[in-house]
Structure 1
Amino acid sequence: MDKRIRKIARTGYVSKGVVYALTGILTLGAAIGLGSSSEGKLGILKFLEEQPFGKILLGLLGLGLLCYAFWRFFQSIKDPEDMGNSAKGIGKRIGFLISGLVYLGLGVYAFYEIFKETNQGTNGKVNMLPSESLPYLFYAIAAGIAIKAIFQFVQAFKGDFLSKFHLNTLSNRKTVKSIKWLGYAGLISRGIVEGIVAYFFFKAADTASQESIKGTSEAFSFLRQNSEGPWLVGLVAFGLICYGVYMFLMAKYRGFKD
């Protein structure tokens, strides 16, 4: 595989790791009372924008997210890892395509936040879709996210994600253990959050209301409603931090086919 493609992929993994690590850190801080919450991917972009040199940070992250989107599209179309055209292979490649679209949107949104006019705004809400089509759209999105959540659990259970690292070539056993346990914790936590988001979309389909759309931040709010909420939120947030660090390890140690 071309070295430039590998660099783009590794840059993308780092950016994805930043998003998940910051999501976990800010959520964990809010859960233990050390700060306000900026949960969710869009919340992280807002958080970075508010920091010193926020526009620069946002631009760097946006560029990295676009790199990750490009890598996902490359995996889907060019199939550099020979997943093939079997049902399983096509399913994975479609998943890569959807993931690429999600992170393309995040990357574009990051640059939109940089260049948008600060005085613009509107109090009105625009209904982009006819109401009769909303249930079908929401059911489709819910099904896709639910499948993705299940896939996270299956990956963790089978340990399939470990094959990307060629662990037998790594001499440092601490690094091998870190990859394993960070991967397990991160995938399970990510699956929990995505499962809750899928539930929200199924619920939104029943009411056919855009007001019912909820994402990662609402998933954490849902966890808090339980009597053990702060502990649940803390554990899941810690897991997302683990997933972020796992992405950093992916950027450094992931193997690619020549």
Structure 2
Amino acid sequence: MKDSTKKISKFGLFAKGSIYLISGILTLLSALNMGGSKSGKFKVLDFLEKQPLGNVILIVLALGLISYSVWRFIQCFSDPENEGSDTKAKLKRTGFGVSGLIYLALAGLAIKKVVAGGGSSSGGQNYVDTFGPTVITIVFIIIGVALAVKAIFHFKKAYQKKFMDEYSIADLKYHKLAKNAGYFGYYARAVVSGIIAFFFLKAGLYSGQNEIKGTQDAFSFLQDSSYGDILLGLVAAGLACYGIFVVLLSKHKKFD
């Protein structure tokens, strides 16, 4: 694999890890009533925009997210890590492509905030009028199923503890930190993905209220449940840990 491809991957992973770390910390502070706010990926951009040198931070972050998208597209189409071509590998590589599109959209929003000077990330719920309720319902069900599969994948990855196979050396300085952060982080991602899957499936199958739900809505769902602040705090801490895991991975990722 080319050194330039490895550098693109590492820069992208650092940007992705930073997003999760900030999201988790802000949400954890909210759960502890210490400020902060329930923050998904897109909400993190609003937070960064308000910081000193906010536009500079957003531009650097956007470049990192574009790098991550490029890496995902390379994984999808070129298979640099030899995932294979069987059904399981094809599904995994398709997931890489979808991930690339999501983070490319996030990068685009970050750039839009710099160019247009902020503003909301959405122009309203016009997609229902554009595509029609039947098409949207089908799309929501497909998204819900995909997210449910993703949640199962994260649970499995945490349970089997195979995520450390991505690291290049077993005796790196922060190996134990990375292992514990990844273990906690993948469980937290599984919980969030499962809740969002429930939202999409419920909207598609029952309610007919086709509203796009995301991480921030999953946080609200947790907080409104029994022992809400405790559950929210645990999941938020888990996402922050996942951010730490990915940031460390950006330095120690195994490619060959």
What band does the TM-score fall into relative to the shorter chain? over 0.9
Which residue of 1 is the match for residue 87 of structure 2? 87
TM-score (norm 2): 0.93
Which residue of 2 is the match for residue 141 of structure 1? 143
Which residue of 1 is the match for residue 133 of structure 2? 131
Supply the AA of the counterpart residue of 2:253: R
Residue 102 (structure 1) aligned with residue 102 (structure 2): yes
In structure 2, C-alpha distance between the alignment counterparts of 1:89 and 1:108, rounded to whole Å: 29
Residue identity over aligned pairs, in percent, reads: 39
Supply the AA of the counterpart residue of 1:137: V
Which residue of 2 is the match for residue 157 of structure 1? 159
Per-residue deviation, 1:2: 0.5
In structure 2, C-alpha distance between the alignment counterparts of 1:24 and 1:120, rounded to whole Å: 21
In structure 2, C-alpha distance between the alignment counterparts of 1:252 and 1:40, rounded to whole Å: 25
Which residue of 2 is the match for residue 63 of structure 1? 63
Per-residue deviation, 1:124: 6.5
Which residue of 1 is the match for residue 34 of structure 2? 34
In structure 1, C-alpha distance between the alignment counterparts of 2:106 and 2:30, rounded to whole Å: 23
Per-residue deviation, 1:159: 1.8
Which residue of 2 is the match for residue 237 of structure 1? 236
Contact between 1:24 and 1:238, CA under 8 Å: does it hold in 2? yes
Which residue of 1 is the match for residue 191 of structure 2? 192
- What's the RMSD between the two structures over aligned residues? 1.9
When structure 1 is superposed on structure 2, of 135-144 and 198-207 the one drifting more is: 198-207
In structure 2, C-alpha distance between the alignment counterparts of 1:92 and 1:118, rounded to whole Å: 35
In structure 2, C-alpha distance between the alignment counterparts of 1:48 and 1:36, rounded to whole Å: 12
Q: Kindly tell me the number of residue pairs found equivalent between the two proteins.
A: 253
Supply the AA of the counterpart residue of 2:108: V
In structure 2, C-alpha distance between the alignment counterparts of 1:215 and 1:171, rounded to whole Å: 35
TM-score (norm 1): 0.92
Which residue of 2 is the match for residue 201 of structure 1? 200
Per-residue deviation, 1:226: 1.6
In structure 2, C-alpha distance between the alignment counterparts of 1:255 and 1:120, rounded to whole Å: 38
In structure 1, C-alpha distance between the alignment counterparts of 2:131 and 2:182, rounded to whole Å: 38
In structure 2, C-alpha distance between the alignment counterparts of 1:124 and 1:96, rounded to whole Å: 28
Per-residue deviation, 1:123: 8.3
In structure 2, C-alpha distance between the alignment counterparts of 1:16 and 1:84, rounded to whole Å: 25
In structure 1, C-alpha distance between the alignment counterparts of 2:111 and 2:150, rounded to whole Å: 27
Give the secondary-structure state (helix, strand or coil) at the position aligned to 2:221: helix
Give the secondary-structure state (helix, strand or coil) at the position aligned to 2:245: helix
Structure 2 runs not aligned, ≥5 long: none
Per-residue deviation, 1:204: 1.2
Structure 1 runs not aligned, ≥5 long: none
For residues 17 and 120 of structure 1, do their structure 2 counterparts lie closer, same or farther at Cα, with a shift above 3 Å needed? closer
In structure 1, C-alpha distance between the alignment counterparts of 2:172 and 2:119, rounded to whole Å: 55
Runs of 4+ in 1 over 3 A off after TM superposition: 117-125
For residues 110 and 167 of structure 1, do their structure 2 counterparts lie closer, same or farther at Cα, with a shift above 3 Å needed? same
Contact between 1:134 and 1:209, CA under 8 Å: does it hold in 2? no
For residues 125 and 101 of structure 1, do their structure 2 counterparts lie closer, same or farther at Cα, with a shift above 3 Å needed? closer
Contact between 1:48 and 1:57, CA under 8 Å: does it hold in 2? yes
Contact between 2:12 and 2:66, CA under 8 Å: does it hold in 1? yes
Which residue of 1 is the match for residue 115 of structure 2? 115
Per-residue deviation, 1:227: 2.4
Question: Deviations for 1:199-234, whole angstroms, at most 9, x for unmatched residues?
Answer: 010111123333x32111110110011220000000
